[in-house]
Structure 1
Amino acid sequence: MNYYVYILFSPHLNRYYIGSTNNVENRLKKHLSSSKGFTSKAKDWEIKYTETFTTRSEAVQRELQIKKWKSRVMIEKLIKGDL
């Protein structure tokens, strides 16, 4: 089984969301149908980026690394493949 780090974008909020999962499509559906939490503030989330890992711990470690950047510029460079 593979694990993934994913980055979603909401045009409505003009914000990114970073997460990890073992099924990106199912996770996106949950974000779109959620009634609580940060992603419930919009219903237009789009997958902009994914990375694949063989273990859950690797995916979570990468998710935390990206979140620690706290930088929209760095996230957009990652999405564009400039990192």
Structure 2
Amino acid sequence: MKHYLYIIYSKDLDKFYTGETSNIQERIIIHNNHAIKTAYTKAASDWKLMLSFPCKDRTEALFLERFIKRMKSKKFIQKIIDDPYLLFNILNKK
């Protein structure tokens, strides 16, 4: 099953969130409707998709998600949004 790495942004919080899913549209609805009560994204309802990156499987999507989260950098996330090709470089170096 195809999986995606995604990055969403909340203008209200001025924050990004990185995740992985097999259904991006459904996942954004879940974030905006606070379907997961303990989720980081429950603090806002204005999440917008900034990047969708197709991965060959869930393992690859999780690898990229964890890599980005470990960076803990808004600037790094913005670089990826501006140039998604960087994700191919990250995958090629693993």
TM-score norm. by structure 2 comes to 0.83
Paired AA for residue 40 in structure 1: K
Q: 1:43 — aligned with what?
A: 45
Unaligned runs of 5+ in 2: 87-94
Q: 2:57 — aligned with what?
A: 55
TM-score norm. by structure 1 comes to 0.93
Q: 2:7 — aligned with what?
A: 7
Q: Alignment RMSD, CA only?
A: 1.3
Structure 2 Cα separation of the partners of residues 55 and 81 of structure 1:
21
How many residues end up aligned between the 2 structures?
Answer: 83
Unaligned runs of 5+ in 1: none
Could you tell me how far 1:40 is from its partner in structure 2?
Answer: 1.0
Structure 1 Cα separation of the partners of residues 13 and 75 of structure 2:
17
What do residues 20-50 of structure 1 show as CA deviations (whole Å, max 9, x unaligned)? 0000000001001115221111100000011
Q: 2:89 — aligned with what?
A: none
Where 2:13 maps in the other structure, the secondary structure is coil
Q: Percent identity?
A: 35
